[in-house]
Structure 1
Amino acid sequence: MSGLEIDGVQLVTGSAPALWVRDMSRAADPPVPNLLSNPGFEGEAGWETLMARDAEVAFASDQARSGSRALAVAATGQGMGAVIADPVPVIPGHRYRVSAHFLSRKGYISHPSGSAVFWQRDLYRYPYRATGLYLWWVDAAGQRIGEEPELAAALHWHAQVWRRLNREVNAPEGAAAVQVVVAARPDEGDTVWVDDVALIESPEADRPLTGEVTLRGETLVQRTNLPEAGLAFTVTYTARSGYIAVHTQVADTTGQERALEVAWGAPVSAQGWHWWDSIRESRPITTPMRYFNAVSADFSTWMPMSLYPVAVVEDGARGLALALPLDQPRVALLSYDGGAGRLEGRAFLGTSPQAIHLGPRADFTLNLYRTDPAWGLRSALARLEEFYPEWFDSCLNPDDYAGFEQGDFASQSGAQAVARYDAEGVYTAHYTCADMPVKMDSADGPPPTLDGGWERVAAYAAGDNPLHRARARAFQVGVAYDADGEPILKHVGVFPWAPDVWEIAWVGNLDPDLPEGYGQYLLTEEVDRAFTQATAVGAQLDGVFMDNFMATPTVDLRPEHIAVADLPLTYSFNDYRPGVHTMSSLAEYLAALRAYLDSHHGADKGISINFWGLATVNFLAPWIDGFGGEGEVQKKPTNWNPAILDYRRAIADHRLQLFSIQEPGLSVADVEAAGERALFYGILLRRGPHGTGWEAGAEEALERYTALVRAYNGRGWEPVTYAHTDHPDVAVERFGSDVFTVHNWGDAPATYTLQVDLAALDLGAPSGVSELTTGEAVSFTIEGGDLLIQDTLESGQTHVFRVLRPEGSHEKPGGQYAEGSSPHHRRTA
């Protein structure tokens, strides 16, 4: 690639290849030496005990994956044990991989435990103590860097057979050596063994690809063949209205399993520019590091995936964006490589001879376009919506309903409940679940075994109840497998939604092409039955709700599931085996669900979710009409912190957001604090079934905030605010073109000025401004075409300003826009 211009300014300073590949197909067993002197714990040499708290740490001979010994950590309480290896020299910037195999006597470990947000993000950002592999970097003076070692990879629950963990890292600047730490946190009475630890310098390099470029119609085509590697690449460049679509396809010619990093990048010199991490935060590009904002796409290891589907660099005068199309689910990382000077999208693709529907091919697309530098990542999101408005459509307008309820309506009593809700003007959605939970024995008894769980499923499959038989059979057919052919475990425990029994839940593949699979079961035995029951009593069921949405992001390696996949494969970062990401199988299910609703019950039937996963949901959002959430808002606000709320608001875009508070013992002040955030983001709050023991008056406070949000959230959130404040702690969001929510994130009161660009919003000369929380008129001035409001907010407080349009503007009573201006409309099938 030799040129890229914006407004006549050349951004490419020198010719460089745009396409790169890194072949990871043999990365699980590369022909390079292990840098550890005693990887199998055949004695104590090379290791020392780092921690033994309520645990016994030994080099034991009762279990071994290879050789005659393994590390054993036996818990005498809720403790933890760890050993640390001797330092190994490293070179800053070089890639290294650390791996090991883990086995639990119990079959699984249950600490730590958490939601998808924990496993995808928080686990790698905060110092949690988990079973897994850690790295402690050492400087040239022999001093350890940091107070604690960095987590490389954590064991996620299942360890009934030897389970491989793996992580690749870049040695940081200032590191001269590294020490591998192996840690285990078994449940009381359990033992965890670890064996065959490896630390290697990664031998696989990025390989630049070049090839002849030809013009085919209005599309540029580049083909590159690598016969020695058994790979063939085709890249197309197509000019669209406002952007360039870059499509890359790779084909395997060997008939073997492949794991490939395929990267396309624009060689842009952006030193001194800004990289945007989110809708609110940016960083200056000043060092030769890689800039990205990633979470893990796999809850069983670190598999980097961009949190947002767009990447933006800008210098204040011009902006450049790289975006992943939301209708193409791919695990990919968007970044700016400060060392190479490249704005890049890197997809993690797999091919397999078992993939009958797909063949030996995989592909991904990137859209390259200019953005408004003044609005950073917000501008990139707004332009994405401009290019693909159908991705952000919704048939669900919150102004059409008095409330929203989900439940099990697939019965006569459920249908009667729908009829009652109909009379009250309440939207109803039938409850479905993305996971595969099985209720076990009493919570007063011992924890269940994994084999016992599958015995319970088999008993249901052979039983007399036809619905239980179908569900159990769907579990057997649809459960996802890891590289060892073991069902992938989500959790085992006693939970608030079923406090009297143990529950085991597994990860499901919802591909509707699986005969008797879980996707087919949900469509026929759940969704169709619920609508049929409602219709029989003359009731109108409004949609389908899915709980635990993308709560189990991982890679499914089950051969039968790979065979029917219609979306490109990725690969496991633990084993480098190609498989189906659960995001992709869920996308196939949602497409089938949408087609079923459209053809049988109408395009006005909605799909809503309980929004748990991060990043993966981006590529499922086009199917979603309503985005729910739940959790605590005070003690552990995993789903209620600014970074997560910013992200989820951006992905929901115009569409409805709700949040169920599942926290007991809240005071009026606690609920009011949550309400202020809900006002800022336009989220409808409700009290969940686990929100018990609230202070008198807290429920009434919740209702007041819900009424306030309903006054404007039907207008739809807009990514670009065309408004800003002059105070660093005071942020602003926009709904429609005339409502602005302003929140003080600081710890102290803030006096600020809100400035609104009237021309950009086509607001004309406003007849007035009102503040919705007080109902009072607000004084304002107009200077240079901007509306200025001076205001003061207490810490954590939100104000909602509505700009009143001039006389004669087209607006409906109640704040809804005239026909054609609302973001909510009915789909066409």
Structure 2
Amino acid sequence: MHRLLSLLVITMLAGCGMLPSPTPAPSPAPTSPPSPAFPSTYLSTVTPSPVPALLPTPLPDGSFRLSTGDGLSLTLSADGQVSGLEIDGVQLVTGSAPALWVRDMSRAADPPVSNLLSNPGFEGEAGWETLMARDAEVAFASDQARSGNRALAVAATGQGMGAVIADPVPVIPGHRYRVSAHFLSRKGYISHPSGSAVFWQRDLYRYPYRATGLYLWWVDATGQRIGEEPELAAALHWHAQVWRRLNREVNAPEGAAAVQVVVAARPDEGDTVWVDDVALIESPEADRPLTGEVTLRGGTLVQRTNLPEAGLAFTVTYTARSGYIAVHTQVADTTGQERALEVAWGAPVSAQGWHWWDSIRESRPITTPMRYFNAVSADFSTWMPMSLYPVTVVEDGARGLALALPLDQPRVALLSYDGGAGRLEGRAFLGTSPQAIHLAPRADFTLNLYRTDPAWGLRSALARLEEFYPEWFDSCLNPDDYAGFEQGDFASQSGVQAVARYDAEGVYTAHYTCADMPVKMDSADGPPPTLDGGWERVAAYAAGDNPLHRAHARAFQVGVAYDADGEPILKHVGVFPWAPDVWEIAWVGNLDPDLPEGYGQYLLTEEVDRAFTQATAVGAQLDGVFMDNFMATPTVDLRPEHIAVADLPLTYSFNDYRPGVHTMSSLAEYLAALRAYLDSRHGADKGISINFWGLATVNFLAPWIDGFGGEGEVQKKPTNWNPAILDYRRAIADHRLQLFSIQEPGLSVADVKAAGERALFYGILLRRGPHGTGWEAGAEEALERYTALVRAYNGRGWEPVTYAHTDHPDVAVERFGSDVFTVHNWGDAPATYTLQVDLAALDLGAPSGVSELTTGEAVSFTIEGGDLLIQDTLESGQTHVFRVLRLEGSHEKPGGQYAEGSSPHHRRTA
């Protein structure tokens, strides 16, 4: 069989495009290729299908009704309140309520309220006691202070941790509180804990990790602490060379009568961390409901609301289309100042007793007055809530209602249901700045409201989103067209020769690029580098003789993102498997192609264009571009030069409440320029593939992506290989190609088989990564077998709605094309179950047979009530793959791939 090589190895050549170690070998100056044409504004080449608007209906009382043509209608009063929301004539609201709300956070960093802590500056021991001092000395020291004369100092004598806890402060359940503090490290950075984007965005807040940061320990009315440990509020992410502010807002939970603030530090051995100016306040900023006159304009309804005392003006536009209602909200600042705003649109849906869907597989009954959401952090430097999925659903078994965020509009937003207020809403975190000269002082976001099939929960919402916008889910990459996949540095002469060889073998080739800004430092045997030393290294390359190194270093200087203190935002410092002999420092980059000499321009000219131009010159065909560490550094960039060229709306930092550019948005601008360049220079059949790291933010970049890679461990630390993450990434990749590189040493045959069974279920192509060393004999062969099995059906494309289910709670189903069903036993024991397939929904007619792919055997079945029934047994962790054969006949391609039913979701053919 052809070798199958993944799109996602991150260790080839210099590894993530790093500036090299000192004294590089001299190289001749390259011939500069012609520069691509960079769009001056965000160019959306993924254009939504035109769908005609359905005209609103004026009602006798001055209100208006919008209808979608499929049984959903929304009624707005003359002043913009939601007075009706119906599905098939069933009213879902119990009374009128404003649809639009705003919460002004522009002055939240310095609010006019009192600090609830008695000794926030550690000017003595009053109000604090030591909670932990493990291999660390905890003191109230005078050698550093941000204000006053003292600060908390935690000095590590080993790999230890120190913490202090404040006296209890009374709180009111349900009220909002903010906790903040400033941190400083003698070394300049903190290296523990460390992890990928999944860790910083999700796992850190769900599991009991020990981190430098702020914690809250709630206390009940009897004075007893709630829980065995305090809850993490915000963790320090690496950089602390200057006083670094951490901040988190929380709602006091039910049962809490008081709270104790915990300040913790986990310095590296020999380092000291200081903490000062801790604050706990009750948040004074309230949600403000907004109303305003609604007028009929053409085929839309427009509501305008002006708040001169707040310096804000709002315009909400409602457009009914076939199947959904688009609600577009724009806010404009009239003061000329920086603004940080929570802007929410929602409907007063009475959903008590309904179900809220967290994912494609899990739901919760709505039974308590809590807020229901499934969020991760959009910022690895603090908690910035963002919905993991771009859609949300509530349903009562008879009807379902969805809110969705359009995938071509990158925004940080939270979709939720407020069980106390009875409100289904989308809340966007928007910023405006006079520095954003491309944007004017405006920001906006859009929500789509539509009905769903309650039987399929969140899956139905995803399927309908694809129905409305099929372009967002298409791809030019059909895995059946290639014998394998390879990525690497193809901009060199040897790289071009490799492309020619791969062409002859039918292997897809993608030129490697990286979203981060890593720099190789000195030998790993030496001491850790300093951050200043890293920038001195970059400056030396920028002034050196090698033109490629000069351009690369200059791109770092221009493109690095800044925090509120004007400091470059750090990703990590360490010695890593991809460069085990040297220290590496990596920073966060802004890839906006409008930045002259910036990192986005560097990637397009010195990497992508050079690789394609050289390949074309020798008659070789490079098939696409690969980006490593995709959205591995989600954060808010506050650098003024970067804000000035932004073409997508700003958000704001949750640590400092300053408006800035989210790295998701700058990457979207780069992808738009990359797609335009590939289309205009080399053809619309050139693919863009990624190493999928980030969560939630990737949703709004997915329309540009043709292949979704991943990597990591599958046994010891399956950060990227657990069911919740696999469900999410399968849903976002949708029909498109998924691959995974196993980067774990010492695996047994059984370990590889366990990973292969999951890969079968999700339709993921596996390979052994370069760090997957020391495997048991036979493990590689087992992996190849699973790869061949997946290739037999994954080109048909994953579908969100399965139209199939089982009668066993541990046995789950996925569907590929219309006739392939993967079934997996997630339980710890064998499971005997019945698979039931809705033949009519899938237009399968009367089947002539059923085959099971892993055994190659025919499977017996029955048909009852138009449904196909298969009785089967699965061992724990086992997957079966069933294909329903049609009466009209079927044939298989060479290599075992199915002839008919391949995925229709491929675009941009040459």
Quickly name the TM-score band, shorter chain normalised: over 0.9
Deviations 1:105-129 (A, max 9, x none): 0000000000000000000000000
> Matched residues in 2 for 1:602 and 1:819: separation?
27
Q: What secondary structure sits across from 2:643 in the alignment?
A: helix
> Matched residues in 2 for 1:284 and 1:815: separation?
44
What is the CA distance between 1:12 and its match in structure 2? 1.2
**Does structure 2 retain, via aligned residues, the 8 Å contact 1:40–1:69?**
yes
> Matched residues in 2 for 1:815 and 1:124: separation?
45
2:65 corresponds in structure 1 to: none
2:199 corresponds in structure 1 to: 118
> Matched residues in 2 for 1:399 and 1:348: separation?
42
> Matched residues in 2 for 1:140 and 1:206: separation?
28
**Does structure 2 retain, via aligned residues, the 8 Å contact 1:715–1:816?**
no
> Matched residues in 2 for 1:616 and 1:120: separation?
10
The change in CA–CA distance for 1:79 and 1:59 in structure 2 (over 3 A counts) is: same
What is the CA distance between 1:826 and its match in structure 2? 3.0
**Does structure 2 retain, via aligned residues, the 8 Å contact 1:25–1:257?**
yes
> Matched residues in 1 for 2:775 and 2:503: separation?
29
What is the CA distance between 1:552 and its match in structure 2? 0.1
**Does structure 2 retain, via aligned residues, the 8 Å contact 1:132–1:182?**
yes
What is the CA distance between 1:813 and its match in structure 2? 7.2
**Does structure 1 retain, via aligned residues, the 8 Å contact 2:216–2:232?**
yes
**Does structure 2 retain, via aligned residues, the 8 Å contact 1:816–1:822?**
no
**Does structure 1 retain, via aligned residues, the 8 Å contact 2:795–2:902?**
no
> Matched residues in 1 for 2:258 and 2:230: separation?
13
- Equivalent positions of 1:575-594 (< 5 A) are 575-594=656-675
- Residue identity over aligned pairs, in percent, reads 99
- Equivalent positions of 1:16-31 (< 5 A) are 16-31=97-112
**Does structure 1 retain, via aligned residues, the 8 Å contact 2:735–2:903?**
no
Unpaired runs of at least 5, structure 2: 1-81
**Does structure 1 retain, via aligned residues, the 8 Å contact 2:476–2:909?**
no
**Does structure 2 retain, via aligned residues, the 8 Å contact 1:99–1:164?**
yes
2:449 corresponds in structure 1 to: 368
What is the CA distance between 1:821 and its match in structure 2? 6.3
What is the CA distance between 1:824 and its match in structure 2? 3.5
**Does structure 1 retain, via aligned residues, the 8 Å contact 2:891–2:900?**
no
> Matched residues in 2 for 1:7 and 1:814: separation?
49
Deviations 1:211-264 (A, max 9, x none): 000000110000000000000000010011210000000000000000000000
> Matched residues in 1 for 2:886 and 2:331: separation?
54
> Matched residues in 2 for 1:8 and 1:290: separation?
27
Return 391-400 or 528-537, whichever deviates more. 528-537
Residue 163 (str. 1) matches residue 244 (str. 2): yes
**Does structure 2 retain, via aligned residues, the 8 Å contact 1:654–1:823?**
no
Deviations 1:511-535 (A, max 9, x none): 0000000000000000001111211
> Matched residues in 1 for 2:520 and 2:137: separation?
33
Deviations 1:433-486 (A, max 9, x none): 000000000000000000000000000000000000000000000000000000
Unpaired runs of at least 5, structure 1: none
What is the CA distance between 1:179 and its match in structure 2? 0.1
What is the CA distance between 1:819 and its match in structure 2? 8.7
> Matched residues in 2 for 1:740 and 1:523: separation?
41
TM-score relative to the length of structure 2:
0.90
Deviations 1:741-793 (A, max 9, x none): 00000000000000000000000010100000000000000000000000000
The change in CA–CA distance for 1:428 and 1:235 in structure 2 (over 3 A counts) is: same
Taking only aligned residues, the RMSD between alpha carbons, in angstroms, comes to: 1.1
> Matched residues in 2 for 1:799 and 1:308: separation?
28
> Matched residues in 1 for 2:100 and 2:223: separation?
40
The change in CA–CA distance for 1:801 and 1:430 in structure 2 (over 3 A counts) is: same
> Matched residues in 1 for 2:315 and 2:909: separation?
34
Q: What secondary structure sits across from 1:279 in the alignment?
A: coil
> Matched residues in 2 for 1:814 and 1:654: separation?
21
Deviations 1:689-748 (A, max 9, x none): 000000010000000000000000000000000000000000000000000000000000
What is the CA distance between 1:536 and its match in structure 2? 1.8
**Does structure 2 retain, via aligned residues, the 8 Å contact 1:730–1:750?**
yes
> Matched residues in 2 for 1:815 and 1:74: separation?
63
Deviations 1:658-682 (A, max 9, x none): 0000000000000000000000000
**Does structure 1 retain, via aligned residues, the 8 Å contact 2:300–2:319?**
yes
> Matched residues in 2 for 1:336 and 1:793: separation?
37
> Matched residues in 1 for 2:364 and 2:480: separation?
39
**Does structure 1 retain, via aligned residues, the 8 Å contact 2:355–2:394?**
yes
1:707 corresponds in structure 2 to: 788
> Matched residues in 1 for 2:443 and 2:887: separation?
54
What is the CA distance between 1:806 and its match in structure 2? 1.1
**Does structure 1 retain, via aligned residues, the 8 Å contact 2:796–2:901?**
no
What is the CA distance between 1:388 and its match in structure 2? 0.2
Q: What secondary structure sits across from 1:4 in the alignment?
A: strand
> Matched residues in 2 for 1:12 and 1:811: separation?
53
**Does structure 2 retain, via aligned residues, the 8 Å contact 1:712–1:815?**
no
> Matched residues in 2 for 1:156 and 1:10: separation?
48
The change in CA–CA distance for 1:445 and 1:821 in structure 2 (over 3 A counts) is: closer
What is the CA distance between 1:815 and its match in structure 2? 7.6
Q: What secondary structure sits across from 1:721 in the alignment?
A: coil
What is the CA distance between 1:649 and its match in structure 2? 0.1
What is the CA distance between 1:347 and its match in structure 2? 0.0
**Does structure 1 retain, via aligned residues, the 8 Å contact 2:847–2:884?**
yes
The change in CA–CA distance for 1:696 and 1:174 in structure 2 (over 3 A counts) is: same
1:301 corresponds in structure 2 to: 382
The change in CA–CA distance for 1:769 and 1:828 in structure 2 (over 3 A counts) is: closer
> Matched residues in 2 for 1:277 and 1:166: separation?
26
**Does structure 2 retain, via aligned residues, the 8 Å contact 1:294–1:304?**
yes
Q: What secondary structure sits across from 1:767 in the alignment?
A: strand
Deviations 1:530-569 (A, max 9, x none): 1112112211100000000000000000000000000000
Deviations 1:350-378 (A, max 9, x none): 00000000010000000000000000000
What is the CA distance between 1:808 and its match in structure 2? 5.1
**Does structure 2 retain, via aligned residues, the 8 Å contact 1:680–1:733?**
yes
1:477 corresponds in structure 2 to: 558
What is the CA distance between 1:816 and its match in structure 2? 6.8
**Does structure 1 retain, via aligned residues, the 8 Å contact 2:524–2:580?**
yes
**Does structure 1 retain, via aligned residues, the 8 Å contact 2:793–2:898?**
no
> Matched residues in 1 for 2:665 and 2:124: separation?
45
Which of 461, 479, 495 is 1:398 aligned to? Answer: 479
Q: What secondary structure sits across from 1:384 in the alignment?
A: helix
The change in CA–CA distance for 1:227 and 1:244 in structure 2 (over 3 A counts) is: same
What is the CA distance between 1:812 and its match in structure 2? 7.0
- Number of residue-to-residue matches in the alignment: 829
- Equivalent positions of 1:722-737 (< 5 A) are 722-737=803-818
What is the CA distance between 1:810 and its match in structure 2? 9.5
What is the CA distance between 1:822 and its match in structure 2? 2.5
Return 806-815 or 664-673, whichever deviates more. 806-815
1:352 corresponds in structure 2 to: 433
Which of 205, 208, 211 is 1:127 aligned to? Answer: 208
What is the CA distance between 1:805 and its match in structure 2? 1.0
Q: What secondary structure sits across from 1:524 in the alignment?
A: helix
Residue 108 (str. 1) matches residue 168 (str. 2): no
> Matched residues in 2 for 1:676 and 1:450: separation?
44
Q: What secondary structure sits across from 1:2 in the alignment?
A: strand
What is the CA distance between 1:825 and its match in structure 2? 2.3
1:15 corresponds in structure 2 to: 96
The change in CA–CA distance for 1:256 and 1:820 in structure 2 (over 3 A counts) is: farther
Residue 515 (str. 1) matches residue 596 (str. 2): yes
